[in-house]
Amino acid sequence: MASKERIQRLKDENRINILNAALQIVKDDGWQALSMRKIADIIEYTAPMIYEYFPGKEAILIELSNLGFRKLARRMKEAKEKEFTLPNQLEAMWLAYWDFAFENKEFYQIMYGVGMQCCEKQKSAQCNETIGYLVSEVIREIMASQYPSEELICRKYYTYWSIIHGLISINLVSLDVRDETNRHILKDAIHGITRSLVD
């Protein structure tokens, strides 16, 4: 039994090493530089050995994307839990989303295909639904007295996300706007949409 556990632990470590190596390549040289051969060179394995863990580069990209969504959902949940009023929870979650995007640019790019080619499987990561659920629940609570339809809640979520994701994408592709200006734009957008929830 101990032998099986040791083998599984080694497999898990190898898998993590492959993902860490892929992420390091991307941080150093961008997503276009990622290849199975480069990953193999970094972790000092043969390329065929990596295929025992991932069937190809796309599988690594999907795994990294899902990892990014899990990290983002955790950050947003933690931000929400620090606030007591519903509008403050919404603002805290979106600010956490914003901070995550710039602190984890490589993850954000693969999660949403910003400035890179992105396969359809990557775009439909299940964890994206978790982020939508976190925000939608707060929107639902704020609008409870209006008995909002699911369609309306979904529309409000996408209004927030479209503006915030759009602003992030502009900045990731072209960093011409000062951070302070971006923060003002972001907060104005969040406040404006939040006010519309109770009008």
Per-residue pLDDT of the chain (199 residues; tens, 9 = 90+): 568 888 888 888 999 999 999 999 988 988 888 899 999 999 988 888 889 999 988 899 889 999 999 999 999 999 999 999 999 999 999 999 999 999 998 899 888 876 544 444 444 444 456 888 999 999 999 999 999 999 999 999 999 999 999 888 888 876 666 778 888 888 899 999 998 887 7
pLDDT reported for residue 60: 92
pLDDT of residue 128: 58
The pTM assigned to this predicted structure is 0.84
CATH number given to 67-198: 1.10.357.10
The residue behind tokens 């929830």 is: 197
Please give the Cα distance from 166 to 172 (Å, whole number).
10
In this structure, are residues 22 and 34 in contact, taking their beta carbons and an 8 Å threshold? yes
Q: How far is CA 71 from the centre of its chain?
A: 7
What pLDDT shows up at residue 4?
A: 81
- What is the residue extent of each domain of the chain? 1-54, 67-198
For residues 96 and 76, the answer to whether their CB atoms sit within 8 Å is yes
Angle CA 174–91–63, to nearest 5:
60
DSSP 117-152: ---HHHHT-THHHHHHHHHHHHHHHHTGGG---HHH
> In the prediction, which pLDDT does 115 show?
52
pLDDT value of position 169: 86
Q: Distance of CA 16 to CAs 8, 22, 54, Å?
A: 12, 10, 11
Distance CA 119, CA 166 (A): 20
Third-level CATH fold of 1-54: Arc Repressor Mutant, subunit A (1.10.10)
Cα angle value 17/23/27 (rounded, 5°): 140
